Chains A and B, each alone.
Chain A
Amino acid sequence: GAGVSQSPSNKVTEKGKDVELRCDPISGHTALYWYRQSLGQGLEFLIYFQGNSAPDKSGLPSDRFSAERTGGSVSTLTIQRTQQEDSAVYLCASSLDDSGKLFFGSGTQLSVL
């Protein structure tokens, strides 16, 4: 597609359930990022993938959070045993290289009840 695509756009789940969020980056972009945005806040870095290099997981808040990127394209962010404080918008971005110019998707609004 023309832009970064994320699904679902909204996800409501119960505390303790696992959720998977999907990101389709722009075709040809080698770098992929996940950020989290709480209501009225800035963007919090979670994880970064670049080509075949080991991902930078330094931003993941706990071991309940993990992410994969298959075939250098689609990425899935998994949150296990969700907590209410996980409620936020999860944004995915991709970039052509490591320059830092990111293109964002519209995000997944996660609500944990």
Chain B
Amino acid sequence: GESVGLHLPTLSVQEGDNSIINCAYSNSASDYFIWYKQESGKGPQFIIDIRSNMDKRQGQRVTVLLNKTVKHLSLQIAATQPGDSAVYFCAEKGTGRRALTFGSGTRLQVQP
């Protein structure tokens, strides 16, 4: 069946280092991908999105990479800061499907 999953449930990095959070998806018909950040007690917050006709998109300190060949998505955070500590979710939406399907999340811990 369709699924969106993450390789690492917890990622610990040092402040200032770059972080890479990975996500695999199984629905080859997915055409829209999105990363969310969720801090404790809050709802998920949009970070960055990418459509299937692209393989890279950059934002402020964040980059999303999409490899459709192996159905892999990653979020790169440059110069990770303590405020980046949160749970990160990838999500995908397929053509004709109305709602996002979310992965199980990766917790990012930034060590000072």
List chain A positions with a Cβ less than 8 A from chain B: 4, 33, 35, 41-45, 48, 50, 56, 59, 91, 93, 98-107
Contacts and interface: CB of A to CB of B under 8 A. Distances in A.
A78 B8 CA distance: 35
Contact of A104 (B44, B99, B104, B105): B44
Interface of B: 32, 34, 36, 41-46, 49, 89, 91, 93, 98-105
B98 A101 contact: no
Contacts of A98: 98
B43 A107 contact: yes
A40 B110 CA distance: 19
Nearest to A59: B99
Contacts of B104: 41-42
A78 B91 CA distance: 26
A42 B105 contact: yes
Contacts of A35: 102
A44 B100 CA distance: 9
Nearest to A35: B102
